[in-house]
Structure 1
């Protein structure tokens, strides 16, 4: 890592811990800053704060005392999940104290090149595919960011010739200053996180920050299927590399007569891709763009595409049982994600869905139920989705208690050749703490089928 002196002897407040906050505090401490951490969780129940205290870092836990900002901090490093409406963040901004997120620190000290990936859906799959393609060739690549590996920690370890493949949320991108990925990827942009950003405009603006510091020798890989994105990137200084499943884009990646193309070169055959669905085809094309820009061979790229079964909880293939294929798409916490999953299968589908009620109706799903043999529903939204399924003419509709009960019921409704798909179209918080837990419960129930 670069031994920068920017923070030596400067007072820095790390607001909120979790994994990214811990790494930010450790990095700043190593760089010679006078670090104070402030986390809402009580000290006795906060092992991360206890460990940092032992390292000689000042720790304040149990609340966010606004008077703490009277101590003359020169920087606040904010946990991405803490909203800007938080009184500590608001006060810091009023005092003209810069507020950044940990990815900005990672960029400042990274010796490795950064590939940054953002978007509403498909970020994690695309990030993982890119990382696999780079590592399968002649690169050493490291996953980082919103994918679960704190960027600062990865940047501290990555070498000069390595690549950091960094998934970036809108929350993280709101807190950058100089962050400049050599290759930026925008997988897509839909509507999300309006409770955090206040409006779709605010959400989109945060996403677009991924390329605001790029220069003419950088690259911006962008989804050409979305006319909105074509308009939004007109101010980019970087070189545009498009990808599209719908048209030939001569400067990027596309599909032509069953061939996966990059510019005028055949990379491989579409039929060799393991991942199902058009949405995953977009992810694949985005990853091909980055891999080719990084000099990876077609053989390396196709090896990954022919062996990559998906990321956990994202249209993840689980097993085949009696000629029924099971897929875990628990990460589908919104309607668009479930639409994409349903579009990805030509076979009849038995759909498991339902979850937290955010006041949404599900009529947008109706056209995508044409190929659905049965729906098995649970959670707060079960009756809402049942109404839509009824109106769509779905033959079998069953209400159950939870995802564990749904699995054997779905199997009973299925026939040989069917896909049994968990794609809830809702968050999980009405019943379980995360989509990962929900997905794990689904997988466990599938494995128990005989």
Structure 2
């Protein structure tokens, strides 16, 4: 297992445990870096706490004493901890660098690093790109926001191995030198304002994916997204566009084919993955794959079999000629709009969740194919207001996912689509969007 040999700090404070905090702390300790771990809610008797203590960590639980920052040269923060946390604010005040564990992965991995970010589509694109490289019989690993801790994965990667990393704004906000050889920026849509405070701060965090690149590196970017295009003058990367709407000097498509630059890659009719938004994801992954040297045959083999990622416009089943789709990962308006545009059949939409302070007027124009809405969670009232503005006659409230699915089934007719695409985070009722999606699938299968 590799350790940090060129990390410039010798005394670290790890703020927050969970998977990323534990992995970061273990790496720092194995690298002979003096490490303090501070977590407000951790269990003193848990195995992870005991293991870290055995390795030599000092662990403080139940409070955030500012004195822990005395002597600290760097804070490695769990991505989910906001920047208004008392320890984070004090560290910034003292000019102590605050990073996330993906920064550590950048010190460890010796091979090609590909980073992928965007407001939507990260997991699908990351999974696709990983599959392309794997189908080309090359060594590749996958990590980051997709579920595998990047610094933990990077400890065992080899020099000739490609590492594909999904990166959230939470992770990107905490980097100093992290530099992917190929960066992919899918789209940019106002989100996570409860964490970042303003759209400007959120946009700036996303832009960090390319801030350390130079002309030897590539930025694959969405040429159809003007928010992204506005950032391009600030980058030194070699720019490679992709577009689902026009011909560009990168990944693009016409009615019949997908291309990379002037090269035909494959016919669109042979692609299994549906949805206009997924075409953009495909073109982004395709562009990065071609820059990485992946063969057209490998790309073809994947795109003729890859049907999507769980909880992301996932086909669940067809019952009584009614189609059920689980898009629980749709945690904002843009993601839900993409899902709605993927269907030419009447849709019964299940939507709602955590209230982050925004309205849903931006969803109204995409509700024209929706015949009924079942709304739930903290935003049920706001979601219903959007439905009324769209002229939807049938809007019902549900307390549970099982109740929502039952109501949707009663409203459905031959050929309809019942779609869970909440446009909200899940944390008002569920621990994760995966749990929410699984509850939906359970309820569907119990019908």
Q: Report the equivalent of 1:184.
A: 183
Correspondent of 1:303 among 289, 301, 304: 301
Matched residue, 1:143: 142
- Deviation, structure 1 residue 319: 1.8
- How much has 1:272 moved relative to structure 2? 2.4
Task: Please say if residues 314 and 331 of structure 1, whose CA atoms lie closer than 8 Å, have aligned partners that are also in contact.
Answer: yes
Matched, 1:112 2:111: yes
The answer for the alignment partner of 1:385 in structure 2 is 383
Q: Could you give the per-residue CA deviations for residues 2-23 of structure 1, whole angstroms, max 9, x where no partner exists?
A: 6543459922111111111111
Aligned to 1:65: 65
- The total of aligned residue pairs comes to 447
> Is the 2:12–2:76 Cα contact (8 Å) retained in structure 1?
yes
Tell me how far apart the structure 1 counterparts of residues 8 and 206 of structure 2 sit (CA, whole Å).
31
Other-structure match for 2:266: 268
In structure 2, distance between residues paired with 1:263 and 1:149 = 33
Give the corresponding residue for 2:338: 340
Counterpart-to-counterpart distance in 2, 1:105 and 1:290 = 23
Q: 1:229 to 1:415 in 2, by over 3 A?
A: same
Determine if contact 2:333/2:362 at 8 Å carries over to the other structure. yes
Q: Who is 1:48 aligned against?
A: 48
Residues 278-427 of structure 1 correspond to what in structure 2 (within 5 A)? 278-427=276-425
2:434 — aligned with what?
Answer: 436
Give the Cα separation in 1 of the matches to 2:4 and 2:364. Answer: 55
Displaced runs of 4+ in structure 1, greater than 6 A?
none
The 2-side partners of 1:28 and 1:264 are apart by 47
Task: Provide the C-alpha distance between the structure 1 equivalents of 2:314 and 2:363, rounded to a whole number of angstroms.
Answer: 21
Evaluate the alpha carbon distance shift between residue 43 and residue 377 of structure 1 in structure 2; reply closer, same or farther with a 3 A threshold: closer
SS of the equivalent of 1:234 reads: helix
Q: Distance in 2 between matches of 1:392 and 1:94?
A: 48
Q: Is the 8 A contact 1:276 1:345 kept in 2?
A: no
Superposed displacement of residue 42, structure 1:
4.3
1:242 aligns with 2:241: yes
Partners of 1:43 and 1:384 in 2: CA distance: 38
Distance 1:331 1:173 in 2: 20
- TM-score normalized by the length of structure 2: 0.95
Which one is further off, 230-239 or 39-48? 39-48
| CA offset digits 1:99-132 (Å, max 9, x no partner) | 2111111101112211000111111111111111
SS in 2 for 1:221: strand
TM-score normalised to the size of structure 1? 0.94
Q: 1:412 to 1:272 in 2, by over 3 A?
A: farther
C-alpha displacement of 1:413: 2.1
- 1:248-259 alignment runs, 5 A limit: 248-249=247-248, 251-259=249-257
1:175 aligns with 2:177: no
* Counterpart-to-counterpart distance in 2, 1:380 and 1:86: 25
| Cα RMSD after superposing both structures | 1.9
Could you tell me which runs of 5 or more consecutive residues in structure 1 were left unpaired when the two chains were aligned.
Answer: none
**Counterparts of residues 194-209 of structure 1 (less than 5 Å):** 194-209=193-208
Q: What displacement does 1:46 show?
A: 4.1
The alpha-carbon distance between structure 1 residues 89 and 253, as it changes in their structure 2 partners (threshold 3 A), is same
Q: More deviation in 151-160 or 300-309?
A: 300-309
- How far does the alpha carbon of each residue in 1:362-386 deviate from its partner, in whole angstroms, 9 at most, with x for none? 2322222221122222223333323
Q: Deviations over 1:62-93 (max 9, x none)?
A: 211111222x1222211112222222122223
Distance 1:102 1:359, change over 3 A: closer
- Contact between 1:274 and 1:305, CA under 8 Å: does it hold in 2? yes
Tell whether 2:36 aligns with 1:36.
yes
Match of 1:12 in 2: 12
Could you say which residue in structure 1 is the equivalent of 2:444? Answer: 446
Q: How does 1:215-226 map to 2 (within 5 A)?
A: 215-226=214-225
